[in-house]
Amino acid sequence: MKVKNHIHTIMKLLSCAFLLISLQSRAQLLELVSGKIIFESAAELESIEATSTKPKGLVDLSKKNFAFSVDISTFDGFNSALQKEHFNENYLESNIFPTASFSGKLIDPVDLNKTKQTIRAKGKFTVHGISKERIINVDLKKTATGFEISSNFNVLLSDHGISIPRIVYQKIAENISVTITGKLNTKQ
């Protein structure tokens, strides 16, 4: 009878251990619940700014993987409706290449005990159907439910096959500034 009780106790302990491991693995998955992407073109004759509040993203801390994307057509702002139309039709060709994305691995570990930290994310940054390997610094601020994130980086249009017609060359910058902010919460 003691052997049966002992085996039953071991089985309960193993079940609890597997449940804890399962819960811990699930707690390592973070989802972007809100975010904002701002791009700015500061050219000689004109500044253009547009914003999307529709990015999507997941981070798996246990595997150190991440994937973020945004639908190009969700960017608003611009200096005119015609400018937005040209952005979607002539430059980003959002009907052919509807999303921009960044996916890959976290180079640095995320310390769940730190209030603030900066980590490096390495992966494929894809815009206009062309992927480039990038390392982007991301600032993390711990919250009660996950992290607030922010990052600033530049995108060279020629790296992604986006050409600027000579007639508007002084109105569109070749190097675009990108700012990303958002909230990552534990995925339920």
pLDDT digits (tens, 9 = 90+) for 155-186: 999 999 998 888 877 888 899 999 999 999 98
pTM value?
Answer: 0.82
3-state secondary structure of 64: coil
Among 2-16, 95-109, 165-179, which range has the highest average pLDDT?
Answer: 95-109
Which runs of consecutive H residues, i.e. helices, occur in the chain? 2-27, 81-86
Q: Which residue has the higher pLDDT, 164 or 116?
A: 116
97 contacts 129 by C-beta, under 8 angstroms:
yes
- How much is the average pLDDT of 121-136? 97
pLDDT of residue 165: 80
Is residue 91 scored above 60 in pLDDT? yes
Question: Tens digit of pLDDT for each residue in 21-40?
Answer: 444 444 489 999 999 999 99
**3-class SS of residue 146:** strand
pLDDT at res. 22: 42
Asked whether the beta carbons of 185 and 146 are under 8 A apart, the reply is yes
Tens of pLDDT along 31-75? 999 999 999 999 888 899 999 999 999 999 999 999 999 999 999
* Residue 2 pLDDT level (bands cut at 50, 70, 90): low
Paired tokens of 55: 């990015």
Distance from C-alpha of 88 to C-alpha of 73, rounded to nearest angstrom: 7
